[in-house]
Structure 1
Amino acid sequence: MLRHNRSRAHLRTLLAAACTAALGVTLLAGAGSASAREESAASAAKVTSVAAPAPQAAPAAAGSKVVGYFTDWGVYERNYHVKNIETSGSADKLTHINYAFGNVTGGKCAIGDAYADYQKTYTADQSVDGTADTWDQPVAGSFNQLRELKKLHPGLKVIWSFGGWSWSGGFGEAAKNPAAFAQSCHDLVEDPRWADVFDGIDIDWEYPNDCGLSCDTSGPDAFKNLISALRTSFGSDLVTAAITADGSDGGKIDSTDYAGAAQYLDWYNPMTYDFFGAFNAQGPTAPHSPLTSYEGIPTEGFNSDAAITKLKGLGIPPAKLLLGIGFYGRGWTGVTQKEPGGTATGAAPGTYEPGIEDYKVLKTSCPANGTVAGTAYAFCGNQWWSYDTPATIAGKMDYKNQQGLGGTFLWELSGDTSNGELIKAVN
Structure 2
Amino acid sequence: MVGLATPAQAATSATATYAKAADWGSGFEGRWTVKNTGTTTINGWTVEWDFPAGTRVTSAWDADVTNVGNRWTAKNKPWAGSLAPGASVTFGFNGTGTGAPSNCKLNGNSCDGGGVPGDTPPTAPGVPTAGTVTETSAVISWTAASDDKGVKNYDVYRNDTKVTTTTALTFTDTGLTKGTNYTYTVQARDTADQLGPKSEPLFVTTPGGGGGNPGTAKKMVYFTQWGIYGRNYHVKNLDTSGIAAKITHINYAFGNVQGGRCTIGDAFADYEKAYTADQSVDGVADTWDQPLRGNFNQLRELKKKHPHIKVLFSFGGWTWSGGFTQAMQNPAAFADSCYRLVEDPRWADVFDGIDLDWEYPNACGLTCDTSGPAVMKNMMQAFRARTGPNYLLTAAITADASSGGKIDNADYGGAAQYTDWYNVMTYDFFGAWAAQGPTAPHSPLTSYPGIPQQGFNSADAIAKLKAKGVPAAKLLLGVGYYGRGWTGVTQATPGGTATGPAQGTYEPGFEDYKVLKNTCPATGTVGGTAYAKCGSNWWGYDTPATIATKMAWAKSQGLGGAFAWEASGDTGNGELTTAIDNGLK
1:114 Cα shift?
0.2
Specify which structure has the bigger relative contact order, considering alpha-carbon pairs within 8 angstroms and separated by 6 or more residues. 1
1:47 Cα shift?
2.2
2:467 equivalent among 310, 313, 317: 313
1:272 equivalent among 413, 420, 426: 426
- Identify unmatched segments of 5+ residues in structure 1: 1-42
1:115 equivalent among 268, 276, 286: 268
Aligned partner letter, 2:372: G
Instruction: Establish whether residue 301 from structure 1 lines up as the match of residue 455 from structure 2.
Output: yes
What corresponds to 2:438 in structure 1?
Answer: 284
What corresponds to 1:65 in structure 2?
Answer: 218
- Identify unmatched segments of 5+ residues in structure 2: 1-156, 168-186, 189-196, 205-215
2:415 equivalent among 245, 261, 279: 261
SS in 2 for 1:295: coil
1:154 Cα shift?
0.9
* 1:47–1:57 CA contact under 8 A, matched in 2: no
1:211 Cα shift?
1.5
2:162 equivalent among 30, 34, 48: 48
Q: Which has the higher strand share?
A: 2
1:232 Cα shift?
1.1
Task: Trace 1:3-402 onto structure 2 (pairs within 5 A).
Answer: 47-51=161-165, 54-55=187-188, 64-235=217-388, 236-402=390-556
Larger Cα-atom Rg: 2
What corresponds to 2:76 in structure 1?
Answer: none
What corresponds to 2:47 in structure 1?
Answer: none
Deviations 1:106-139 (A, max 9, x none): 1101101000000001011110001110112221
Deviations 1:315-374 (A, max 9, x none): 111000000000000000000010000000110000000000000000001010111110
SS in 2 for 1:103: strand
May I ask how many residue pairs the two structures share in their alignment?
Answer: 385
Distance 1:65 1:302, change over 3 A: same
Distance 1:250 1:387, change over 3 A: same
The CA distance in 1 between the partners of 2:263 and 2:468, in whole Å, is 33
Aligned partner letter, 2:507: E
Structure 1: 4+ residue segments shifted above 4 A: 43-46, 56-63
Q: Percent identity at matched positions?
A: 69
> Root-mean-square deviation (CA), in Å?
1.6
The CA distance in 1 between the partners of 2:546 and 2:373, in whole Å, is 36
* 1:175–1:223 CA contact under 8 A, matched in 2: no
1:45 Cα shift?
7.8
* 1:359–1:417 CA contact under 8 A, matched in 2: yes
Distance 1:45 1:79, change over 3 A: closer
* 2:414–2:469 CA contact under 8 A, matched in 1: no
1:222 Cα shift?
1.2
What corresponds to 2:557 in structure 1?
Answer: 403
* 2:440–2:495 CA contact under 8 A, matched in 1: yes
Aligned partner letter, 1:350: G
SS in 2 for 1:51: strand
* 2:159–2:558 CA contact under 8 A, matched in 1: no
Q: TM-score, normalised by structure 2?
A: 0.64
The CA distance in 1 between the partners of 2:397 and 2:245, in whole Å, is 27
Deviations 1:23-66 (A, max 9, x none): xxxxxxxxxxxxxxxxxxxx878723231674467879996110
* 2:436–2:500 CA contact under 8 A, matched in 1: yes
Deviations 1:189-241 (A, max 9, x none): 00100000000000000111112232111111112111111111111110000
The CA distance in 2 between the partners of 1:44 and 1:367, in whole Å, is 39
The CA distance in 1 between the partners of 2:462 and 2:159, in whole Å, is 24
What corresponds to 2:569 in structure 1?
Answer: 415
SS in 2 for 1:155: coil
Q: Which has the higher helix share?
A: 1
Q: TM-score, normalised by structure 1?
A: 0.88
Deviations 1:242-278 (A, max 9, x none): 0000011110000000000000000001100010111
The CA distance in 2 between the partners of 1:211 and 1:102, in whole Å, is 20
Distance 1:44 1:232, change over 3 A: farther
* 1:335–1:384 CA contact under 8 A, matched in 2: yes
Aligned partner letter, 2:309: L
